[in-house]
Structure 1
């Protein structure tokens, strides 16, 4: 169940008439950070970062991507198109300069922002345990993933009806049986991540964000994955501006070797490996991530 009192809800209308919904936490008067949520997830993911954003004086805004949560579906989605949506949100919120973060499946969208947006506007980029599965070709990292995740990538690219069914099953569990959903996540991750999810606020925020992902069904998530696993339209080896790339070295969902390769081949990468951390490095290291973001954005 969505609790609209935990953070400020808002909507922005794009030039082509779509609605982008967001949740804002932190300091409303502070520098703007636009966050790209993971998957399955939604704008409600912002609640996982509320305390850290407030402590660093940041205005932290997580936007539902098209077809997720309350944002309008979009048939022809592209990485460049989403970066234009991010600038639309920043403009609507009255900010010329802003930062971008992205976690897990949201990580590649943060990298796209680094590739496409003017550094004079985009002052900070952090990509946190990104699902970099299409960085160097279609499903290029399949050999480094678990058998189930590699198979999911194959379905996404070659048999979309099967992929729809897979995510429909996940959506049923996330929306109807949140305790089972959390139990399955805890089984898949390491002790570092489980400790984070043992905190009641984190567990509730994560479960709510996952359930809200499926408010319009699974189509948005399927379209996301198609772009995620297919060779990206932008070249990470051409990104020279600073990009902070955070990775738990014991990540059971996105193995560290995937993003270590991205860091090696991306000229602007600022590599932040975290020993013992898992996929929830984004939450566990939020203070450190936001300290750097605040400095880049000139927060007091």
Structure 2
């Protein structure tokens, strides 16, 4: 027994040493010595950080509708919602996408919280003179980030659309059996990755860089998580010429903080939110693919049932990449701006 105990102690000490050695390295901040160059337009936020952004559609001063787009996991400002040629001119829309903190050319935010992305976007809208209200659209992890907009700055919104938003399995509003069943639908590596992010966030960097156990399938672009319709659309991501810019300041400040925030303990439960447009001066829409293997559709249906003021759109035969299917994004934007379809 003493020999077994000694062997276990050696294993534990070796494991602890590995964890210590795999602390996240300091970020390579854009524009600083040794960091990537600055190529994007940026604003300076009130806390001194810089936020990189990109403008799309008609000129800002000519726009009828102004939209802020929130990109997803392992994406950046270039990954804006795709729309058909001529659609922006037809609708009179101006869209601004920005690198969320730590992604692309936006400075990392070591104090990042569930709330901070919404406040960053609000400052961006103010500095670009969007006016008192604007629309927000978020995709995947960016879709999840729209919930804090509805919680903390609903008075600034003209409307909101969440496209395949990532859910947090530990939101208290979910029945335990439902969230547990959905959780087990994930690939085993992703079950472990989100569990580590929730329970031991200080281990996230080590878990996603160690070689002993499989880490996040999503971060690794594993084909195992793709539904048949997603496999037909994945070329939109594989062919991205700017892909190296996404994680250039460090995977911990981009991907890993996303996981820690997205699957951590939230200050509020989205299912407790009240209708921000009770006077019908705007609307909230949630779009989800019927065969999404990234985010279980059963949980989106439950959220929609708990929040009847949300217009829920389930797209048959579509997966997580539904907005990249031909014509879908035009429908999503038009529905948001002109009312429920």
Could you tell me which of 38, 41, 61 is aligned with 2:72?
38
Please, which of 75, 97, 102 is the counterpart of residue 67 of structure 1? Answer: 102
Q: SS state of the match for residue 122, structure 2?
A: helix
Matches within 5 A, 1:123-202: 123-133=158-168, 136-137=171-172, 141=179, 143-145=181-183, 146=186, 147-160=188-201, 162-165=203-206, 167-168=208-209, 184-198=221-235
Per the alignment, in what secondary structure is the counterpart of residue 79 of structure 2? helix
Over residues 60-92 of structure 1, what are the superposed CA-to-partner deviations in whole Å (9 max), with x where a residue is unaligned? Answer: 111111111111111111222221211110011
**CA contact 2:114–2:148 (8 Å) conserved in 1:** yes
The equivalent of 1:215 in structure 2 is 248
Alpha-carbon separation, structure 2, partners of 1:28 and 1:135: 42
CA contact (8 A) 1:25 1:47 kept: no
Match of 2:21 in 1: none
CA distance in 2, matches of 1:182, 1:248: 20
Distance 1:113 1:41, change over 3 A: same
Retained in 1: the 8 A contact 2:67–2:136? Answer: yes
Provide the C-alpha distance between the structure 2 equivalents of 1:77 and 1:50, rounded to a whole number of angstroms.
34
1:28 alignment partner, one of 49, 56, 59: 59
Shift of 1:270: 0.9
Per-residue deviation at 1:278? 0.1
Q: CA deviation at 1:112?
A: 1.2
| 1:244 matches 2:285 | yes
Paired residue total: 274
Matched-pair contact (CA < 8 Å) for 1:24–1:46: no
- Structure 2 residue 144 is matched with structure 1 residue 108: yes
Deviation at 1:167, TM superposition (A): 4.4
Residue from 117, 120, 131 that aligns with 2:153: 117
1: CA distance, partners of 2:142 / 2:310: 17
SS at match of 1:62: strand
Matched-pair contact (CA < 8 Å) for 2:172–2:269 = no
Q: Contact 1:134 / 1:231 at 8 angstroms: preserved in 2? A: no
Post-superposition CA distance 1:137-164 (Å, at most 9, x none): 4997454131222211111123446532
Q: Secondary structure at the match of 1:125?
A: strand
User: Greater share of helix residues, 1 or 2?
Assistant: 1
Residue of structure 2 in register with 1:177 after alignment: none
Contact 2:204 2:256 in 1 (8 A): yes
Note closer, same or farther for the CA distance 1:49–1:77 as it changes in structure 2 (3 Å cut): farther
Structure 1 gaps of 5+ residues are: 1-7, 170-180
Say whether 1:279 aligns with 2:320.
Answer: yes
What is the Cα deviation at residue 266 of structure 1? 2.3
Aligned match of 2:295: 254
Distance in structure 1 (CA, Å) of the matches to 2:173 and 2:112: 17
Q: How far off its partner does 1:55 sit?
A: 5.4
Q: TM (normalized to structure 2)?
A: 0.71
With over 3 angstroms needed to count, the CA separation of the structure-2 counterparts of 1:134 and 1:47, relative to structure 1, is same
- Say if 1:72 and 1:190 are closer, same or farther in 2 by CA, change over 3 A: same
2:47 is the alignment partner of 1:16: yes
CA distance in 2, matches of 1:143, 1:55: 44
Which residue of structure 2 lines up, in the alignment, with residue 173 of structure 1? none
Deviations 1:214-259 (A, max 9, x none): 1111122222211211232233222313320000010011111121
1:82-97 equivalence runs, <5 A: 82-96=117-131, 97=133
- How far apart are the structure 2 equivalents of 1:23 and 1:187? 32
Contact 1:53 1:290 in 2 (8 A): no
